[in-house]
Amino acid sequence: MASARENEIGARFRTFREMLQISRSKFAVSIGFGSERIASYESGRAPLPYAVFRAASQRYNLSPFWLSGENCSPNGRINDDAFFAKIGPRALFTSVYDEFICSNFHQLQADAKEQFQRIQSALEEQWKRIKDKPPDEEPLKTEVLQTIRSLEALIKNIRRDLRVRAKARRAVKN
């Protein structure tokens, strides 16, 4: 049985085929796979293999970003046929997507979360010191300014991420 993520990808795969207004059997033949296999991927009974995605992508320009439901910053390998020729025929779409197409996306999210938690802890610590006793003003001022700079950097990264996501959404629509 496929995971929740695989089920979502299968549902999006079916939605893509339906948006093309093609029957499952015609779609399957056009990308070189059996209709029952396509039904298994669409229903979530089996995870989508990368080879099936690649065939649909080449034939119908299916975006891996749209299919995954994530808009990330690609690492440049997305159109490298020589690179993808090395991927095994049984590789799953999600594995290839996570490792090669958008390998930096999840790491960027984890880094931003960690940075936010550090800033939150620093602010909580500063608040405890201020609340308990009046602090020496100059060192506290320096700490608060450093925390504000950290927040500004985090906000800058979030804004950059939002721009990339918006760009990816526009590309998917086109």
Report the CATH number at residue 68. 1.10.260.40
Token pair of 49, please? 């293999």
Please tell me whether residues 91 and 148 are part of one structural domain: no
Cut 0.85: pTM above it:
no
Q: How confident is the model at residue 75 (pLDDT cuts 50, 70, 90)?
A: very low
Please tell me whether residues 118 and 34 are part of one structural domain: no
% of the chain at pLDDT higher than 70: 69
Mean pLDDT of 115-120: 82
Mean pLDDT of 99-127: 73
Our count of domains for the chain comes to 2
**Of the given ranges (68-72, 140-144, 161-165, 167-171), which has the lowest mean pLDDT?**
167-171
Indicate the residue among 101, 134, 163 that finishes a domain.
Answer: 101
Dihedral sign computed on CA atoms, order 152, 158, 164, 170:
negative
Task: Output the pLDDT for position 17.
Answer: 93
Give the domain extent around 23. 4-101
| pLDDT tens-digit map of 10-65 | 999 999 999 999 999 999 999 999 999 999 999 989 999 988 998 998 898 888 87
- The mean pLDDT of the chain is 77
